[in-house]
Structure 1
Amino acid sequence: MQRPRFELPEVLVMKILSKLPVKSLTRFNCDDIPSVYGACHGLLCLLDSSTDKAAIWNPSTREFKILPPSSIQRPPYFSPFEETYLTLDNVSFDNAAFGFDSKNDDYKVIRFVDLTFVNSEEEHPHPHFMDQVELYSLRSNSWKEIPSPDYTPTYTTLGNNYVDGICYWKTETGAYLDFRGLILSFDMGNEKFSILPIPEFVGFFPEYYVDLLVFNGSLGAIVYPSQRIDTSFDLWVTSEGVWTKQFNIKSISGVVHPLGFGKNGDLFLRDTNDEVLLFDASTQELKKLEINII
């Protein structure tokens, strides 16, 4: 009997691809497993958070475009408290996004750069942090620095965070018991950041998780409680700034995290054993798949 085929969500595909012994990936020459971003027009972006290495990969044609290293200067940091310039101790790259700029017919990669500075003369120096944002253009084959937004991404999305020329990240403001969730967006065409509110439907922010994802070509938010063993999920989708609730999935025992939606609207979930489950919203059936994400 032939097994049924499942359209896996992008986040799950990316996890699988990042672990496969693909010969093309050896050209990336990365010491650690790279993060996989995409997909856009069948292309994926690979990024090593600990180095300056990045690449665009076409799995179907096996073409592999190594991106040039960044030539952007890392500014010195003057500490008014210590009254001295600090030494750059570490550079890391994270929260990237990959998408297409239809206005200029160009593929672009955006990434956030975390800079750590220390006083090299101290035995146990206190680190100081700065942020930069870099944007790569395939047309010019170069990186450039763009102004950093007031908010930086604090959470990754479920798979691709790019929809119709706009990249999205979840961010937040405030302190404990006064957290406020926000959505940071970046327009690939005009290269500008914007801030969108997470609507009030979420409820009290620390009591709920909100994961951004792409659902049927639109930006979606899947909302679920943070402190319950039996977890229910609400899916909301936005169109022109208006949020609409798509459906609610009642309590599912043992599920700890959503992984994303397949093309048929099936929800993939991770359980407490790091195994993948498939939930059919139309039949309310839960199936265990022979996939482990460890």
Structure 2
Amino acid sequence: MYILLGDKFENKRQLNFSNPFEDDENFQIFGFGSIIGTLMLHQCCQNEHILWDPTTEKFGLIPPSTVDSYVPDVAKASSDFVSYLHGFGYDCTTNDYKIYSVRSNSWRKLDVDMPPSLKWSEGTHLYMDGVCHWLCKKSYGKHNSPFQPCLVSFYLSNEVFLVTPIHSDEDDDCIKFKASWINLAVLNGSIALFSHIEETTTFHVSILDEIGMKESWIKLFIVRPLPCVERPMGVGKKGEIFFIRKDEELVLFDLGTQMIVKLGFKRDIYPDCRIIIYK
């Protein structure tokens, strides 16, 4: 793992990282980035979660929730038991995380009808200003009605949900939800939805003007075809699109200058590469 610094990420420093999951490499960094300097690591198979502060190099194992504690290990290992993370955020009114409290080292149960997050764990969750956001497919209307894409927003202070529908029309270029890659990000203080259409090698960027209003999605950019893209890997704090080129080079596309900048890395043999924001 590396920290990239500078306007063009020209300074890079390797992190002193020791795997806290007993050498099990099947773990991920959850969400868009750090929350007050802390990252959430989660191990999918064992359903374990760890808080990590890269600055102090300290780890904090989150104890199992009440749900995890009474589910037998044999059930956890089967495909019938699925646990999804929905959000990782900080409530400034209580000066603590939710729904797990770091201060009391305990969980609290919420009796709510929570719209589920998508299976995709990378890029489809976002925290901003006390609100956790995630992408979802929600059924509207009567039973067996088709599922429609939406953005779910959970306010940590009052624990209220708001759902913002997303255009699903295949012919509507405003939002390309059925894409090969989708990423939520913060762009100029607004929620942005980035999507990559593999067939046309184009990127679509839209921002949300008002939470809860379908018509508030505004098409911002359609990035011209970039045939050199093999796989996108994240979005930066200024809207830079990071991707791996077909020659294995890690680069970024600057929305402002419309230029591609090399980062000085090549993808290793292990294919799992990702860019997240750490502050």
**Can you list the C-alpha shifts for 1:75-110, whole angstroms capped at 9, x where unaligned?**
79xxxxxxxxxx7753454435321112221123xx
- Conserved? CA contact 1:235–1:247, under 8 Å: yes
Alignment map for 1:1-294 (pairs within 5 Å): 5-6=6-7, 22-23=17-18, 25-26=19-20, 28-29=21-22, 31-37=24-30, 38-72=33-67, 74=70, 90=78, 91-108=81-98, 135-146=99-110, 147-158=112-123, 161-173=126-138, 180-199=148-167, 201-202=173-174, 205-206=177-178, 210-228=182-200, 231-241=201-211, 242-272=216-246, 274-293=248-267, 294=271
**Can you list the C-alpha shifts for 1:199-240, whole angstroms capped at 9, x where unaligned?**
465457546754322223431101332433xx2222222233
Distance 1:227 1:181 in 2: 21
**CA 1:220–1:191 in 2, change beyond 3 Å: closer, same or farther?**
same
- Conserved? CA contact 1:156–1:169, under 8 Å: no
Distance 1:262 1:103 in 2: 28
* Structure ID, larger Rg: 1
Q: TM-score, normalised by structure 1?
A: 0.67
- Conserved? CA contact 1:202–1:223, under 8 Å: no
Q: TM-score, normalised by structure 2?
A: 0.70
Distance 1:291 1:195 in 2: 39
Distance 2:41 2:180 in 1: 31
CA-based RMSD of the aligned residues comes to: 3.5
**CA 1:96–1:273 in 2, change beyond 3 Å: closer, same or farther?**
farther
**CA 1:267–1:32 in 2, change beyond 3 Å: closer, same or farther?**
closer
Deviation (angstroms), 1:141: 1.1
Aligned length: 241
Identical positions, percent: 28
SS in 1 for 2:34: strand
Greater shift in the superposed pair: 29-38 or 61-70: 29-38
**Can you list the C-alpha shifts for 1:98-154, whole angstroms capped at 9, x where unaligned?**
21112221123xxxxxxxxxxxxxxxxxxxxxxxxxx31213211233335244423
